[in-house]
């Protein structure tokens, strides 16, 4: 490894960590969704790493292709800007939809009473919610609320958003050795930058999750999905407004 590659790899460490922690979109969505959907620490970690890998791989590939065909850095920056806009508005749209769904779910889940007359016991009341179709509490178990589909697609939506999301600082770092056909340098830069990015993402997500899991919302607990959607919406809005 020559001095130039060593210096480039050293720069990758600082740039990757600062870039990751300075962008709340790298960790806030995972913390919010993990809290709302009660993801385990293991599931949260795997989803975070998968999205991070998609985020990194798309930018590495773009940088290598651009360097191979001699595309100017300014042109690549424009492509990354377009990708960033798609990812930002995708996060905003997903947050808005999830927020609306969360409010609807919370409203349907609000408990209320019904009075019933029984021959043996007379008039009595029972409480139930409207999270989904239900039958009388004395007739059997409540019907499943049908949220399994939403639960299964949430990680895929996040993954798609992160694949579109550009990793701007990585492009020039990869293009430098790629322009010289130094594929060992490309590999080293990619591994160092990618590893530090994933570690920073995972650390921030798990630390954030540790904190929010200790917050008890009490009667407002049924609004966790709505709050998660609002968090994603605000995160996307901050990205659009401040160019994070």
203 inside domain: yes
At residue 110, the pLDDT reads: 53
At residue 148, the pLDDT reads: 45
197 inside domain: yes
72 inside domain: yes
109 inside domain: no
Domain hosting residue 40, numbered range: 3-85+150-216
Q: Determine how β-strand 112-118 pairs with β-strand 122-128.
A: antiparallel
At residue 61, the pLDDT reads: 84
Say how many CA atoms lie within 13 Å of 156 toward its Cβ. 5
Q: Is residue 201 predicted with pLDDT exceeding 80?
A: yes
Q: Is residue 152 predicted with pLDDT exceeding 80?
A: no
Quick one: how far is CA 113 from the chain centroid?
38
CB 232 within 8 A of CB 32: yes
What percentage of the chain exceeds 90 in pLDDT? 39
User: What integer best gives the mean pLDDT of the chain?
Assistant: 80
What percentage of the chain exceeds 70 in pLDDT? 81
CB atoms within 10 A of CB 71: 15
Which residue from 43, 27, 41 is spatially nearest to 152, judged by alpha carbons?
43
Q: Is residue 137 predicted with pLDDT exceeding 90?
A: no
**Number of domains comprising the chain:** 1
CB 199 within 8 A of CB 72: no
What mean pLDDT comes out for the span 159-173?
85
Quick one: how far is CA 8 from the chain centroid?
29
What mean pLDDT comes out for the span 62-80?
78
> pLDDT-based confidence at 211, cuts 50/70/90?
very high
How do residues 95-108 score in pLDDT, each as one tens digit? Answer: 999 999 999 988 88
Question: In angstroms, rounded to a whole number, what is the distance separating the alpha carbons of residues 49 and 201?
Answer: 8
Q: Give the 3-state DSSP-derived string for the chain, with helices as H, strands as E and coil as C.
A: CCHHHHHHHHHHHHHHHHHHHHCHHHCHHHHHHHHHHCCCHHHHHHHHHHHHHHHHHHHHHHHHHHHHCCCCHHHHHHHHHHHHHHHHHHHHHHHHHHHHHHHHHHHHCCCEEEEEEECCCEEEEEEECCCCCCCCCCCCCCCCCCCHHHHHHHHHHHHHHHHHCCCCCHHHHHHHHHHCCCHHHHHHHHHHHHHHHHHHHHHHHHHHHHHHCCCCCHHHHHHHHHHHHHHHHHHHHHHHHHCC
Q: Which two tokens stand for residue 142?
A: 């409540």
243 inside domain: no
99 inside domain: no
At residue 47, the pLDDT reads: 95
């Amino acid at each position: 490894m020559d001095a130039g590659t060593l210096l480039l790899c050293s720069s990758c460490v600082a740039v990757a960590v600062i870039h990751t922690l300075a962008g709340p979109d790298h960790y806030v969505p995972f913390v919010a969704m993990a809290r709302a959907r009660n993801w385990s620490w293991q599931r949260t970690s795997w989803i975070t790493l998968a999205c991070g890998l998609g985020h990194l791989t798309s930018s590495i590939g773009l940088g290598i292709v651009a360097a191979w065909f001699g595309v100017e850095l300014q042109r690549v920056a424009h492509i990354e800007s377009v990708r960033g806009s798609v990812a930002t508005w995708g996060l905003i749209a997903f947050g808005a939809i999830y927020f609306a769904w969360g409010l609807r779910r919370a409203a349907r889940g609000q408990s209320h009473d019904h009075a019933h007359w029984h021959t043996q016991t007379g008039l009595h009341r029972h409480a139930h919610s409207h999270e989904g179709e239900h039958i009388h509490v004395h007739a059997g178990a409540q019907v499943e609320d049908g949220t399994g589909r939403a639960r299964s697609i949430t990680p895929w939506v996040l993954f798609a958003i992160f694949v579109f999301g550009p990793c701007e600082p990585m492009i020039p770092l990869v293009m430098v050795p790629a322009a010289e056909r130094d594929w060992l340098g490309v590999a080293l830069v990619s591994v160092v930058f990618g590893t530090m990015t994933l570690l920073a993402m995972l650390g921030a997500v798990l630390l954030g999750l540790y904190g929010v899991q200790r917050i008890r919302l009490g009667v407002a607990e049924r609004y966790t999905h709505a709050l998660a959607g609002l968090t994603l919406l605000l995160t996307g809005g901050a990205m659009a407004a401040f160019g994070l």
